[in-house]
C-alpha cells in the first residue's frame, strides 16, 4: 500500500473509514471506454458522503450548525483506468488534524482489488458569513472529542 498523504502523530486517534461500491456507468466513460479523469472527484464525493453520514459530520450536519466546509485543496494520483461496467470500491479515510480542517484521503480499487486511483481533499470550515473558523464549532468539537476518546469506530 502506498504511503498516506497525511502524517500521523503517535497521539492521534485512528483514522475513521467508510467504503462504498460502485459500477462504472456509460456516461462516466470517454470514447476509449475508460472513466474520464474528471469523474474521479465525484467518486471521492460518494465515499466522503458515506463517511459523513456514518459519523454525523456530513454536509447537512455542518449546514444545520451554520457551517460550510468547502474544499480548499484536492489532489489525485491515477495508476490504472477503470472501465465501462467495471465494479469498484472507493474508501474514504478521515485523518485527525489539530487544526480546524477536515483531511480526507481516498483509495479507489478496481474489480481485481488493485489500487486504481488515490487522492485527498482538505476542507476548511466557514461560518454563515464565510469567515474562516480557527476554532472548531461546538458540534465539530464534540465529534472530535468522541473520536479522540475512541468512542467512534
Model confidence at 100: pLDDT above 60: yes
Q: Which helix or strand (DSSP H or E) is residue 126 part of?
A: strand 126-127
Q: Supply the pLDDT for residue 3.
A: 82
Lookup: cell for 104: 480526507
Q: Give the whole-angstrom CA distance, residue 101 versus residue 153.
A: 20
Q: Supply the pLDDT for residue 1.
A: 52
Asked if 100 and 124 count as a contact pair (C-beta separation under 8 A), the reply is yes
Set out the domains of the chain in order of their start, with CATH numbers: 16-148 (3.10.129.10)
Asked if 120 and 5 count as a contact pair (C-beta separation under 8 A), the reply is yes
| Mean pLDDT to the nearest integer, 111-117 | 97
Q: Read off the pTM.
A: 0.94
Model confidence at 67: pLDDT above 90: yes
Q: Give the whole-angstrom CA distance, residue 22 versus residue 15.
A: 23
| Mean of the per-residue pLDDT values of the chain | 95
With 0-12 / 13-18 / 19 or more C-beta atoms within 10 angstroms meaning exposed / middle / buried, residue 107 is buried
Q: Residues 8-49: pLDDT tens digits?
A: 999 999 999 999 999 999 999 999 999 999 999 999 999 999
Model confidence band, residue 120 (pLDDT cutoffs 50, 70, 90): very high
Q: Supply the pLDDT for residue 12.
A: 94
Q: Which is nearest to 88 in space by CA: 49, 116, 55?
A: 116
Amino acid at each position: 500500500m502506498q504511503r498516506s498523504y497525511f502524517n500521523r502523530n503517535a497521539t492521534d486517534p485512528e483514522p475513521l473509514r467508510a467504503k462504498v461500491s460502485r459500477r462504472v456507468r456509460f456516461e462516466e466513460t470517454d470514447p476509449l471506454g475508460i472513466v474520464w479523469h474528471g469523474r474521479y472527484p465525484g467518486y471521492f464525493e460518494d465515499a466522503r458522503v458515506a463517511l459523513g453520514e456514518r459519523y454525523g459530520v456530513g454536509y447537512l450536519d455542518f449546514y444545520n450548525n451554520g457551517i460550510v466546509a468547502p474544499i480548499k485543496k484536492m489532489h489525485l494520483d491515477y495508476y490504472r483506468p477503470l472501465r465501462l461496467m467495471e465494479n469498484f470500491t472507493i474508501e474514504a479515510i478521515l485523518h485527525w488534524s489539530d487544526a480546524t480542517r477536515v483531511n480526507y484521503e481516498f483509495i479507489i480499487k478496481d474489480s481485481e482489488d488493485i489500487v486504481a486511483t488515490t487522492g485527498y481533499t482538505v476542507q476548511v470550515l466557514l461560518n454563515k458569513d464565510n469567515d474562516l473558523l480557527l476554532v472548531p464549532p461546538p458540534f465539530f468539537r464534540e465529534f472530535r472529542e468522541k473520536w479522540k476518546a475512541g468512542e467512534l469506530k
